[in-house]
Every structure is written in structure tokens, then in C-alpha cells.
Amino acid sequence: MDNRFYATGKRKTSVARVWISNGNGNITINKKTLDEYFGGLNRAKLEIQHPISLAGLTGKVDIMATVKGGGIMSQAEALRHGISKALVEYDASLRGTLKPLGLLSRDARVKERKKYGKKKARKSFQWSKR
């Protein structure tokens, strides 16, 4: 029986749902391969593969994910977070490897809301003395 392990990763407004199962290293995101989805963005691809390589499971697990919201890098970081959490579900001994590097923590930084009387969150309109 092939077990699947699930986790949710988040970053800014991106949400990634990740399933990990035994396999041969296929990464599928929104029914596309990693290269189709992220194209030439090598930094995004490295972000996603980072927890897998740290765990020493490159080519040993298949990853199926759905991601929505946010921009490309935000989605990549949400995927990294989800993959890291799913790897801990897959093998609890990996927690000691991933946690010190901050891969299991949700990055809580989000865009600050706009305030009334301001142009943006903090930027003011130009001040005129007279």
C-alpha cells in the first residue's frame, strides 16, 4: 500500500497543499511539472527542492501539490513550507534537520494594510507649508 502524507504550507497570500508519497522524484504542481510551472526561475526551483535534498530523499519521493494565491516566489516559498511539513509527517526523524534551518516555521510577514489619510500603509501625501 502506497501511503500519502499531507501538509499545508503558507507564505504571504499563497497557500500550498502538498502530498508526498514514495516514488522516483516527480514533482507535480497544479498538474504541471516543476519546469513547466516555474519555467526559467531557477531560484524558485531551488527553494522547492531544498528541503528534499536536505532530507536526502532526492529521487525517492513523489510530490503532488496545488498552490494558489500570491506571486511566483511567494508560491515557491509556500511550497517549500508545505514540503518541509509533509516530510516530517513522512519521517519524524527529519524534524531535527529541518527545524534549525527555519523550514518548518511559517513566515508571518504580510503586506501592511493601507491607513486612511495616507497614500499607502505609511507613505504620506506631500506636505506643503503654505
Query: For every one of its 130 residues, what pLDDT tens digit does the chain have, with 9 covering 90 and above?
Result: 458 999 999 999 999 999 999 999 999 999 999 999 998 899 999 999 999 999 999 989 999 999 999 999 999 999 999 999 999 999 999 999 999 999 999 999 999 999 999 999 999 999 999 8
Give residues with Cβ within 8 angstroms of 85, minimum separation 6. 7, 8, 9, 18, 104
Query: Rounded to the nearest 5°, which phi and psi values hold at 61?
Result: -125, 145
Does CATH place domain 4-101 in 3.10.129.10? Answer: no
Nearest Cα neighbor of 79 from 93, 95, 63, 62 is: 63
And the C-alpha cell for 53? 535534498
pLDDT at 130: 85
The pLDDT assigned to 17 comes to 97
The pLDDT value given to residue 1 = 44
C-alpha span between 85 and 82 (Å, rounded):
5
- pTM for this prediction: 0.89
pLDDT at 40: 87
- Look at residue 98 in the predicted model and tell me its pLDDT: 93
Taking the domains of the chain in order of start, what are their residue ranges? 4-101
